[in-house]
Chain A
Amino acid sequence: MDRALFPDGVERCSFGKFVLWMGFISAFFLFGLYAMLLIFYKGIVVTGLDNYFGFGLWITFDLAVIALGAGAFFTGFLKYILKIDQLKNIINLTVIVGFICYSGAMLVLTMDIGQPIRAWFGYWHPNVHSMLTEVIFCITCYCLVLVIEFVPLVLEQKQLNKIPFLHHLAHNMHVNMALFAGIGAFLSTFHQGSLGGMYGVLQGRPYAFREGFFIWPWTFFLFVLSAVGCGPIFTVLCCTLMEKMTGRKLVDFKTKALMGKIAGTMLTVYIFFKILDTWAWANNYLPSVGMTFDQMFYGVIYGKWLMFTEIILCGLVPAIMLITPSIRNNPTLLYTAGILDCIGISLNRYLFTVQSIAMPILPFDNWQFYAPNWAEWATSGMIVAYGILVMSLSYRYLPVFPQERGMNK
């Protein structure tokens, strides 16, 4: 019945089936929404956060999705600035993924602060020394950029596009997309970095603190690299997942492999510096504050295995897999590497968030434990559900994949 709204010449599942699917996802969304409203009403006392863990699942989740959403700005940068034309096959998807990740992250942040009514203080009374201020500015600005990048795609929807004004608008926006891509790349680089900087400047948290260059601790640069090292491949994984679910070819493997190569290259650079950084941290910084590498870990849940998983299994390994053409060009291995990559980066964000504040700094204090409660899970789930909803709608009604028509003849 909604066939008239489909992009030209493509097949979509029956409306009933679609409604069913959307209903299923909406259930999660609504549950999360309930949790969110409860949090606004009662305050974050309803979460599992406490005096030791002011940061928890939410911040980890934010950092992870923002890193994974980095595909948008980086691919955009390559496509529009470095003019790698082949990326046009997947650029739309990266934009949508980016948009979902960033808008989602912002929603979580408004929940995460104790006084949402004052959220705007971040702009009105900014502290220019705070990495967080920088994050607030760039994330919101970049989110706007993503909206601008998303709009033309929406306007190209078959029916809307019939309206001359909208048609021209979309066209003109496309023409200037390079500009937005440029701005996006700039903004994004900075806040990805600042997210890392946020932890790097924590002088009281030896696990996270890093020396650095000028005002930027090393984590600043490591976070940028790690983001671009996983963003592109995450888009590929999303795309592949959609292909598996819809049973239609959406992007040719050549493009995916290219994305893999891009991610792989960046990941390699990242992991190289990450290892250097970790080495210097363990052998130089820690002793200078009277601590040892072993003191940074505890038991199983804060064990060393986490760091090794992050750096070796989910860092070095996927990096090698992705830069080796023979491996990269095998779909299964590409996806495996991609998954490892994404896990590694998310784990990195988790460790910087939770491990660094779980660790006792006062010699007479103890390790503390944190478990997110239902409210945090539900709201995080809500963001995921929201993402799936947006993605489903976009896939069904928008011309996201230029190759789809040709590939599914």
Chain B
Amino acid sequence: MTDPGALLVRAVLLIPASSAALLALFPDDRATGRLNALAALLTFFAAAGLFFFRPAPSAFLIVDDVNVAFTVLNTFVGFTTSVFSASYIAHELDIGRLTPVYLRFYHAMYQTLMFAMNLALLANNVGLMWVAVELATLTTILMVGIYRTPAALEAAWKYFILGSVGIALALFGTILVYVAARAVVGEGLDAMAWNVLVARAGSFDPTLLNLAFVFLLLGYGTKVGLAPLHAWLPDAHAEGPTPISAVLSGLLLNVALFAVLRFKMVLSANPQALAPGPLMVTMGLISVLFAAFMLYRRHDIKRMFAYSSIEHMGIITFAFGMGGPLANFAGLLHMTYHSLTKSAIFFSVGHIAQVKGTQTMADIRGLTVTHPVLGWGLVLGVMTIVGLPPMGIFMSEFLIVTSTFARQPALAVALAAGLLVALGALVLRLNGLAFGEPRGRNAPAEASFVPMFAHLMLVLAAGIYLPAPLVAWFQHVAKLLG
């Protein structure tokens, strides 16, 4: 056991798992928040180590260009969110929305979720990944319902039903992939290992692969929140604790999409299989347009940004559906930027909801006057999410639209229209939230804004300069994605 990479991988998985158990038993309800952040920080360090030491792929775990960046991103956002959640949850405790027992439960679940997501990212085995995604779903279901208000329970119930059906479909797809692989690779774990699948997919039975991809797209697509499978997403974001909304939008959606991507690689490695592009493009475009119009009639601020997440997942799916080095690269970039930006937005939204005591946008006005830092943070976040420069999302959207327009003008125009409609809605609401005569109660915001601005600054920096190794990985992955 001398390979440092293997150690790091174990660390990335075991730190959250063990700290989950620890936090479940930890008595002091104040320190748990900090402990939670600490655990997340350690996980992040371990994951960052993977940049430098890469273990050889085992039967169950793998670290390659595809997942290394996402793992680090995942642990990083996990850490910042835990910092945010520490102050957020403390406030929830003060106003008595949560009892200490539930708080303990919450932190345990948080770490479990981190464990599940890391596992899903690092899994080298389709079955294992499926189990991990399912576990992640379960934990989030529990957290969404944690306030136990009727609305929260209803949201969790909806999430549960739709999520489980999605899980079932994904499992069937996974089984089909195995059946396809078994005929070539032979029985056993190899027939479920990524590296093997991608390597040998050329000789799989195309029909099975197609069928499998349909189920996987729908199954994991439900988790991604693509319309028309999105229904659980807005309510889950709106009713759960804000840190969970941040993790949902910023990470869980990415993880699900990541699963879809893995399978897309397998498919695109097989010449006879149908090109998955058209399906993904269609679903992506539907999601973008649908979400864009849904944004206009929102009253609840968190639900609105949830819809914006649907829109962006649509954009990303669209990009990968278009394929080609440019679009794929852009899609990967967009995944990264979106998870950073959207979680930052949810951080600010969480603070806003706490200082204003409401999530109804009609009661929130003139934030830049009453809470300059918070207000301008929100402005910056929204400007980023609608794709205005110099923030990173502009770069990815630039690449997606231009590269599409050269090949499929009609699609690009439709996408651009969707982007514009969404921008219209978000900026319209932003005008009301951040500007104008202040309205509603304004308690001073005591929480720390470091995580929010850290994310935004990262996106800003990435919009101007991308580190070379990241580019190299993404370009390699883009090639694999075909």
Tell me whether A and B are bound partners: no
Point out residues on B near A: beta carbons under 8 Å: none
Question: Which residues from chain A sit less than 8 Å from chain B, CB to CB?
Answer: none
